[in-house]
Structure 1
Amino acid sequence: MSSDVETSLRGPKAYALARKAIEAMEAHQVWPTALNFELWVHYVAAKDSALATEIDHLIEAGEPFTDAVGEQLAAQFLPKAKLNGEILEAGQTLSKELDSVSRAIESARETSEAYGQQLASASESLDGEDAQAIKSMVETLTVATRKVREENHALESQLQDTTAELGRLREHLEQVRRDAMTDALSGLANRKAFDEALERACDQGEQGGPVTLAVIDIDHFKSFNDTWGHQTGDQVIRYVASVIQRCSPAPRVSARYGGEEFAIIFPGESARDSLAVLEAVREEVSSRILKRRSTNEDLGAITISAGIAERKPGESPASLVERADSALYASKRGGRNRTSCADPIAAAA
C-alpha cells in the first residue's frame, strides 16, 4: 500500500492528494509539519489502511494529534521510520559481532605464541639425552615453528591494525547509535531512547526499588509560537531542555517526549524525592526573562507544568506514562506553572 501512495505522489493526482491531506489536517487542527503531512497523505490516499484506521480511532475519541502521537504513528506505520529502527538494531548487533571477532583474533595470536614457546622448551629439555631421533624430530618441528612464528610476527602487525580498525568502526557505530537516540533540537534523549530507558527502569524496578516518571509541558506554547514564530519557539525548547538537563543528571534520563513535552525518568527515586527536582526545574525556568535572539525583544518569562507518578508494583511502562500524563493535565487544569502528583500521599508530602 505504501508503494501505491508513493506512486500516486509522482503522478497527475499528486496535487489533488496533497490538497486533500492539507484540508483534512486543517479540519482536525493538525500542524502541517513534514511528518504530519506524510502521515495524512497516507491517510487520505489509503483509507482502508491500518494507519487510516488508527487515525480514525483518534478522531472518534477526540484525541489531540500531538507531535508525540505523530511520531508514534510514523514509527509504527511509515516504512522509512520503521527502517531507521531496524538499521539502529542492526548496528547494535554488528557492534557485538565486532567484539567477538576482536576477542577471537587476540586469542588465536596468544595460542600460536604459546605453542611456539612450548616446542622450543621441549627441544631444550632433550639436550644431553640419548634420544637423537627424538631430538632430530623436535628440532625439525622447532624449525617449522620458528618459521610460523616469523610469519605470525608479520601477521600480528596486520591483526593489530585490523583490531584497531574494528575498534574505530565500533566507536563510529556507537556514535551513530547515540545520534539516532538523541533529539537534534534539544540535545536530550529522543522518544525512542526514552521508551527503551523506561522499559529498562521498570524491569530493574521489579528487582526492588522505586521508579518515578515526570512529564513536563511548556505552558501556552502554541500561542507563543503563533506570536513569535517557530524559530523563537525552538529557542524556548532549547532553553527549557538545558534547565532540565542541568537539574537532572545521570542516572536520571531526560528526554524530549514530543513537541513542547519533556520527560524525566528517576530510577531508584520515589515521587517524594523527585518532586524537589521538578520544583527546582519549574522555578529556574520561570525565573529568567527571555529575549528574542534576532531582535533582542523581551519575550517574557516562560512557565512549565509537570506531572509526576511513582511506579506501582507490576505496573507497565504505558500505565506509568498514562498516570504521569493525568497528573500533568491536573496541573494544567489547576492554573499551570505547577507540579501535580498522581499519588495523593506523595502530593500531600
Structure 2
Amino acid sequence: MQFMTSDNQASAYAKRAFGLMEELNVPPIPQNYEIWFGYASDQIPSLNKALDKIIAEKGGFTIDISSEIYRRFFSNVENAEIINETSAKIENEVSGVLDILGTASDEFAGFQDTIKSNLQDFTSVEKPVDFEEFIQNVVKETWKMQDTNEKLQSQLHKSSSEISTLRESLEETRKESLTDALTGISNRKMFDSFLARVSEEAVAEDTPLSLVIADIDHFKKFNDTFGHQVGDQVLKLVAADLSNNVKGQDLAARYGGEEFAIVLPNTKSNNALILTEQIRKSISSKKIRNRQTNTDFGAVTMSFGIAEFRSGEAIERFIQRADEALYKAKEAGRNQCMLAEN
C-alpha cells in the first residue's frame, strides 16, 4: 500500500511507528512495520480503530493478530495487482484481434484491387489478355485469399480462446478479492462497496435500509482456552449461519476479526431485529464439539447492534450507531440484540 507522505512526514511516521512497536513489544518484522507505519500515518481510519481496540484491551500484538490485521487491511494489494495484470493481458489480446482484422481488411482490399486490375486487362483493347490467363490469375488470387482466410480464422480462434481464459481468471480473482479467505463469505472490502451503493439507492428511492454489526462474545478467551484452530471453526460456523439466514439482496460479511455485519436493504429496523433475534437464537443453540476426541467446547453466543439508515447521514456515522448499539448489548450482558436510537 502506498502512503501519501513527504520525506519529513515519512520520517516522523517511521519514528512514531518504531516507538509504538517498542512500547507494545511488537516484533520489528517488515509486515508489522507496514501495519504500524499505517497507524502512525493516520491514513486508514478503520485500521487505527482496530489497533486502538487492541491497545485498549492490552492483549498483546501476537503473530495471529498481525496476520489478521495485515490480511484485512493490506493483502488486497496483491489481488489488485493480479487484476491489473490480467486486464492488461486482455487489452493486449483485444488489440491483437483488431490488428488481425485490420490486416484482413487490407488483404481483402488487395484481393479486390487485383481482381479489378485483371478484369480491366481482360477487357482492355490496348492490353489484351487471353481468357486462360485471366482465369489463372483469378484462381491464383482466390487461393491466396482462401489461405489468408484460414490463417485469419486460426488466429481469431486462438485469441478468442485466450481472452476467454483471461476473463475467467479475472472474474475469479475479483471474486477472491471480495471474499474472506477463512469463512468464505464477503469481506470488508465487499461490505464497504455494497453499503455505499445501497445507501445511495435508499436515498434515491426513499426506501429503508438497516445495518447489523455483530460480535462473538468472549471470543478472545475462547481462542486462548481452546486454540486458534477451534476459534477458526467458530468463525466458520457463525459465517455459515449468517449466510443461511440472509436472502436475495441482503449481504452478510466478515467485518474484521470476530466481528460480522449484515446489510439489509429495504428493511426497517424492527424487521431487522426479528431476523437478528432468529440468527442469535440459531447460533446460541449450537455447541462446538470435537467429534474425534468427544471434547465439548460449549455454546457460542453473539451480541448484535442494529441501526436504521437516516437519509443523508454519512456512512461512517451509520456504522458508528450500529457499533454503539452493539456495545450497549455487550454492556447489558451479551447474547442479545440492541436497537440504535433513530
TM-score, length-normalised on structure 2?
Answer: 0.69
Cα pair distance change 1:59/1:104, threshold 3 Å: closer
Unaligned regions of 5+ residues in structure 1, if any? 3-16, 27-31, 44-48, 124-130, 345-349
How far the C-alpha of 1:94 sits from its partner, in A, is: 3.9
Please identify, of 250-259 and 265-274, the stretch whose mean Cα deviation from structure 2 is larger: 265-274
Which is worse superposed, 326-335 or 146-155?
A: 146-155
1:206 Cα deviation from its structure 2 partner? 3.4
The corresponding residue for 1:151 is: 148
- What pairs up with 1:230-309 in 2 under 5 angstroms? 230-293=228-291, 295-309=293-307
Residue of structure 1 in register with 2:185 after alignment: 188
Question: In structure 1, the residue corresponding to 2:211 is in which secondary structure?
Answer: strand
Q: 1:51, CA displacement in angstroms?
A: 3.4
Counterparts in 2 of 1:93 and 1:214: CA distance versus 1, 3 Å: farther
* Alignment match, 1:12: none
Percent pairwise identity: 31
Give the 3 Å change call, closer, same or farther, for CA 219–72 of structure 1 in structure 2. Answer: closer
Unpaired runs of at least 5, structure 2: 3-16, 56-60, 117-121
2:48 and 2:156 mapped to 1: Cα distance?
60
2:23 aligned partner = 24
* SS at structure 1 position matched to 2:198: helix
Of 308, 311, 328, the match for 2:309 = 311
Compute the displacement of 1:265 (Å).
Answer: 1.5
Partner Cα distance (2:242, 2:188) in 1: 16
Q: 204, 208, 212: which one pairs with 1:207?
A: 204
Deviations 1:12-70 (A, max 9, x none): xxxxx99983x6336xxxxx7x9999436874xxxxx6632549x9999x941389x97
Q: Secondary structure at the match of 2:24?
A: helix
Whether the 8 Å contact between 2:76 and 2:177 is mirrored in structure 1 is no
Aligned CA RMSD, in angstroms, stands at 4.6
Q: Which residue of 1 aligns with 2:54?
A: 65
1:90 pairs with 2:84: yes
Is 1:167 aligned to 2:160, yes or no? no
Distance (whole Å) between structure 2 residues aligned to residue 175 and residue 35 of structure 1: 35
Size of the aligned set, in residue pairs, is 300
Deviations 1:55-104 (A, max 9, x none): 9x9999x941389x97998599x9x6474364155257548747965985
What SS does the aligned partner of 2:210 have? strand
Q: Secondary structure at the match of 1:251?
A: coil
Aligned 8 A contact 1:288 1:301 in 2:
yes
CA contact (8 A) 1:95 1:173 kept: no
Change in 2 beyond 3 A, CA 1:105/1:315: farther
Which residue does the alignment assign to 2:6? Answer: none
Return the letter of the residue paired with 1:25: L
| TM-score normalised by structure 1 residue count | 0.68
3-state SS of 1:335 partner: coil
**For the residues of structure 2 that align with 1:166 and 1:96, how far apart are their CA atoms?**
6
Q: CA 1:83–1:243 in structure 2 vs 1: closer, same or farther (change >3 Å)?
A: closer
